[in-house]
Structure 1
Amino acid sequence: MTLADTPASRLRSFPSFVRRLAIALVVALVTAAAICVCHLTHRPVGYSGNARISSFISPDFASGFDVAWEMTASELGVSGQLYSHAKVDNTLVAIFKDKDQPPTLVAIDLRGTQPSVLWRRELAESSAPILTWDDSIVVDGQTIRVSDGQVTATWEFPIPDSVVSGISDKGLPLLDVGQDLDRSEKMSFVAVQWPVAVMCHAGDMTKMFQDYDYMCLGYNKDGTEAWRYAADVRGFEPEKPGVPMNVPMVNGYVPAKQNTLVPGTDVNRFLNLLDGSVTEPVSADFTTLTPVTDGWAFSGTMADDSEAPALVTITANGTEVSRIPLTDNAIRMKGPDTVRCWDEIGQTITPTSEQLATTLISGEVTWAHLCTHTGDNALPSRITAINGRSLHVTNKAGGVDRVSFPKTAAISTDGSLILSTPPTHDDREEPAPPETLYAVPSGIPLTSLDEIGVSDASVFYDDLLIATPVPERSIFLRYLGTYPHPDTVLMGITPKRAG
């Protein structure tokens, strides 16, 4: 072939408008091919994990995020967007809400390659929390078994809409289940961690006719009353027990406290959740009260030296057991979240008092698979160290700054990763920045959920996160095949696969 016979030379022999048309067609074909490839590249990969329930995420997420599946409202048989969700009996229970439509409760099995809907049900609009309780949920005054959606009990006295966690000056009903209520959402899920749910109602008569401030009732899962007792919250009558506190129980007991509106006041009784009985008067520092295998531990001093710090241990019902000396530079106790520990599968571990004292003194953990703790200068809701390693980031000057992450952050099984909003993020700021995967303890960002069109996710299985799309995601990006796809309301996120 001579130089004059090359394709380029032949193309130049055509009129200019023909050449421009040919070039435009080639570009269009290349673009279309690229879009097709992009769609294939971003096609959901399906879930193929072990469906292992855990509080941790898999270290495999270090490779990045893949979308396992996407579900639209029509595929789920609902309308609107995901409002809240919870993990109950290996099942995802979710509420979807649409404007001017009743909310819909859906139970979804996530164990297969693609999700499957088990059942759905319309709910009444309510601000009462939805209790998750073993294999069931309690909503609209009914106990519903999650596996098949069957109503197993109807409550004679349903949970009030205005229920709160902690005594308020408005005399609202109090609900205690072992953890604080999330009141940021009207229809929020809260897990019952006690054998009963405790409702405390303010007295509706004057002291002349009624000699208590609150009447506390323990309710079984079927809504029947287990026990009741009268509680005092003002502290004027120390012979009466206070209201139970939302903390993990120890051998069936939880602390009860008067003067709940006054910081620093002590526990004055311990309540037996099994039968509603209360102990004789005791005194323990509630602000640092932490469950241990042999009872409770709290910050105090040695019996023979009021200046020497000690870890005081009492039995589940309040009898003193021991006082273990602490060093002056030991980690300060800041309540039950000072040290939180788990075993290899993500189940919470409770230490002995000696183990807790050792960790407070040394910062090291030899008795659990993974522990987090808060530092002296951090809020109780912030994690400052994992397995004794302080968390930090590199500052602009190239130095190292210590940082903290919210306690809601997801940590990998081996403690090498943390999925969280940025460590410097102010929790009160709106909107929150996207959650990012950071290396521990360096704080180096590895990948962000924003790359797949979501800003936050919650752990369902260790290798499956549940997320919803970012509403403002560019239509152009969706058209190009990036996540999320149009009409998606629920997404499953899995570790990126090799290749």
Structure 2
Amino acid sequence: MTLSNTLASWREAVLTFLRRLAITLGVALVGALAVGSSWLMHMPVGYSGDAHASSLISPDFASGFDVAWELTGEDLGVGGSLRAYSEIDGLLVALLGEKGQPSTLIGLDLSGEKPSVLWRREVAAVDSPMFAWGDSVVVAGQTIRVSDGEVTATWEMPLPTSVTSYFYDSDRSDKKGFINVGGDSVDPSSTGFSRVTWPVIVVCYPRDTPYGVQDFDYLCLGWNKDGTEAWRYKVNLSPHNLQGPGIPLPVTAVDGYVPVSRNFNYEDNQVGAFLHLADGVLVERPTYDAKTLRPVADGWVLEGTMTDNPKQSALVTLAPDGTEVSRTRLADPFIRLTDLNHVKCWDEDGRVARPTSEQMASTLATGEVPWAHLCTRREDTTVFGGVSMMNGRRLNATKADGGSQYGSFPDTMIPATDGSLMLSQPPEDEDSTDRNPPTNLYAAPSGIQLASLEDVGLRDAVPFYDDLLIASPARPDSRIARLRSYLGAYPHPDTVLMGITPKRAG
């Protein structure tokens, strides 16, 4: 080979190397720009709404979902898992820690662009139910004010660790304590906050010594929020009926009164008295059918008959203490009172709406609901039927082929304030094998899917404000999860709480 050929070959090798280096650098630059662009596109956008607390969602979510912020334990200044959280007076209170270990309560203000930690408080290991009660929480035998995290009371007699909102048969030897806080049931296996809607918590403690020593089957106590005893009474069980004042029904109190049943299977039988929760005074009244008794803003209503004509249907109106006020003839009611057990209504502020007795009589006669801003109705076929109507419109479900058919959505469905949207798991489908499908956004009443919480790495979320959803995401700690997070996917493996806001234009 001549010298000229050698030099030519060397120059060609150098040029090839430079071309390959340029291509490699170009690919790396494009990749870096892509990663950077992805990261910038997925950066949390912050919260900029009006901080209106609501159990409904804003119509602005029609544009989809954006991540407002992500919080890790490091951001909160604590370690451990997020065990529970609840909204109280526009603030968020969260419990972090591990089961059986001391935990930390945190108060958060979510109204700003990013959440701010207001206070932290160490609490003992939580082994009894927790409650969201007015402006406070009750955790580990302490009443803690959420605005500043101060302990306002320490309970001398902590709540029992094993409680339920459902009575067991009297022959069972492992009786649990019975607890009633209002409309919500208390699940002893739950680690969340149960919301108290009564002036007191009613706890019925089962007899734990021989009957000759304790002359009751259950000792029922009313507890004030500060852990002091409001009243007590004894309950004895016969094979079929309760002997004694009885058991309060789990409904929202009206002016501090709740109906009481003396029957052991109290939810399915008769009401013969009303309990004043503040002092435990029991007011004896005529026997009424518990199945049709319904709270209204000014008392109670139930189905009955006219006094002068037992064959004529009537709406019976009671005062809060059970005193009969009136009987309104229902010549040809448009709907029955029991049908309203399948209806849920809200006012314009997203609070559950309750009519007066006069408004209820009008609704039964006409089928119209002018006293509520928004109403949904469940299927009447079963107690657990899905939501099939919203503001009188039949809901639809979009099929895989693009067609539409009547559909029903899970009872956990959350409407938009104007009824135009639904935040829900997919429409009920008997053939579906997915037992935990993601929560999606649907147009109402068409049922067309507009977005999914999977778009931001979540399976479900709940409203905190009408334009801010909060969620505790799954935390897959793996190389793949961290790589996806680095590339801009949500959530970060260390995230314990996320805020979701409507997707911004552009």
What is the TM-score when the length of structure 1 is the normalising length? 0.88
Match of 2:195 among 191, 194, 210: 191
1:412 is aligned to 2:416: yes
CA distance in 1, matches of 2:332, 2:387: 22
Match of 1:252 among 256, 261, 266: 256
Counterpart residue number, 1:155: 155
Give the stretch that moved more between structures: 463-472 or 153-162.
Answer: 463-472
Tell me, yes or no, if the aligned pair for 1:466 and 1:493 is still in contact at 8 Å.
yes
Cα distance per residue 1:400-422 (max 9 Å; x no partner): 2231322x332211111111111
Q: For 2:281, what is the secondary structure of its paired residue? A: coil
Cα distance per residue 1:285-342 (max 9 Å; x no partner): 222321113321234456677676554333322234214427577256167x433322
Cα distance per residue 1:258-290 (max 9 Å; x no partner): 334366211221111122111214322222321
Percent identity over paired residues: 49
CA distance in 2, matches of 1:238, 1:442: 50
Counterpart residue number, 2:408: 403
Shift of 1:353: 3.1
Which amino acid in structure 2 is aligned with residue 490 of structure 1? L
CA distance in 1, matches of 2:314, 2:386: 24
Query: Measured at CA, do residues 412 and 234 of structure 1 come closer, stay the same or move farther in structure 2, by a change above 3 Å?
Result: farther
Tell me, yes or no, if the aligned pair for 1:386 and 1:415 is still in contact at 8 Å.
yes
1:333 is aligned to 2:338: yes
Give the stretch that moved more between structures: 258-267 or 459-468.
Answer: 258-267
Query: Measured at CA, do residues 340 and 77 of structure 1 come closer, stay the same or move farther in structure 2, by a change above 3 Å?
Result: same
Q: For 1:438, what is the secondary structure of its paired residue? A: strand
Query: Measured at CA, do residues 311 and 405 of structure 1 come closer, stay the same or move farther in structure 2, by a change above 3 Å?
Result: farther
Tell me, yes or no, if the aligned pair for 1:56 and 1:410 is still in contact at 8 Å.
yes
Q: For 1:384, what is the secondary structure of its paired residue? A: strand
Tell me, yes or no, if the aligned pair for 1:232 and 1:241 is still in contact at 8 Å.
no
CA distance in 2, matches of 1:357, 1:338: 17
Q: For 2:461, what is the secondary structure of its paired residue? A: strand
Shift of 1:254: 0.4
CA distance in 2, matches of 1:326, 1:235: 41
CA distance in 1, matches of 2:156, 2:166: 24
Please list every run of 5 or more consecutive structure 1 residues that lacks an aligned counterpart in the other structure.
1-11
Tell me, yes or no, if the aligned pair for 2:236 and 2:244 is still in contact at 8 Å.
yes
CA distance in 2, matches of 1:301, 1:346: 35
Query: Measured at CA, do residues 315 and 382 of structure 1 come closer, stay the same or move farther in structure 2, by a change above 3 Å?
Result: farther
Which amino acid in structure 1 is aligned with residue 466 of structure 2? D
CA distance in 2, matches of 1:233, 1:91: 43
Shift of 1:192: 1.3
Q: For 1:455, what is the secondary structure of its paired residue? A: coil
Counterpart residue number, 2:71: 71
CA distance in 2, matches of 1:246, 1:434: 31
Counterpart residue number, 1:92: 92
Which amino acid in structure 1 is aligned with residue 74 of structure 2? S
Which amino acid in structure 1 is aligned with residue 121 of structure 2? R
Which amino acid in structure 1 is aligned with residue 405 of structure 2? V
Match of 1:241 among 218, 240, 245: 245
Query: Measured at CA, do residues 326 and 241 of structure 1 come closer, stay the same or move farther in structure 2, by a change above 3 Å?
Result: farther
Q: Counterparts of 1:316-327 in structure 2 under 5 Å?
A: 316-320=320-324, 321-325=326-330, 327=332
Tell me, yes or no, if the aligned pair for 2:241 and 2:262 is still in contact at 8 Å.
no
Shift of 1:449: 0.7
Which amino acid in structure 2 is aligned with residue 107 of structure 1? G
Counterpart residue number, 1:180: 184
Tell me, yes or no, if the aligned pair for 2:312 and 2:329 is still in contact at 8 Å.
no
Shift of 1:62: 0.8
Shift of 1:230: 2.8
Counterpart residue number, 2:39: 39
CA distance in 1, matches of 2:192, 2:216: 31
Counterpart residue number, 1:9: none
Match of 1:277 among 278, 281, 285: 281
1:343 is aligned to 2:347: yes
CA distance in 2, matches of 1:80, 1:334: 46
Q: RMSD between aligned alpha carbons?
A: 3.0
Match of 1:214 among 218, 223, 227: 218
Tell me, yes or no, if the aligned pair for 2:204 and 2:219 is still in contact at 8 Å.
yes
Give the stretch that moved more between structures: 482-491 or 441-450.
Answer: 482-491
CA distance in 2, matches of 1:423, 1:315: 40
Shift of 1:482: 2.0
CA distance in 2, matches of 1:232, 1:283: 20
Q: For 1:37, what is the secondary structure of its paired residue? A: helix
Shift of 1:368: 1.4
CA distance in 2, matches of 1:319, 1:180: 26
Tell me, yes or no, if the aligned pair for 1:232 and 1:258 is still in contact at 8 Å.
no
Counterpart residue number, 1:49: 49
What is the TM-score when the length of structure 2 is the normalising length? 0.86
Query: Measured at CA, do residues 355 and 213 of structure 1 come closer, stay the same or move farther in structure 2, by a change above 3 Å?
Result: same
Give the stretch that moved more between structures: 168-177 or 249-258.
Answer: 168-177
Cα distance per residue 1:142-162 (max 9 Å; x no partner): 111112211111111111110
Cα distance per residue 1:350-382 (max 9 Å; x no partner): 112343344456543212111223231242574
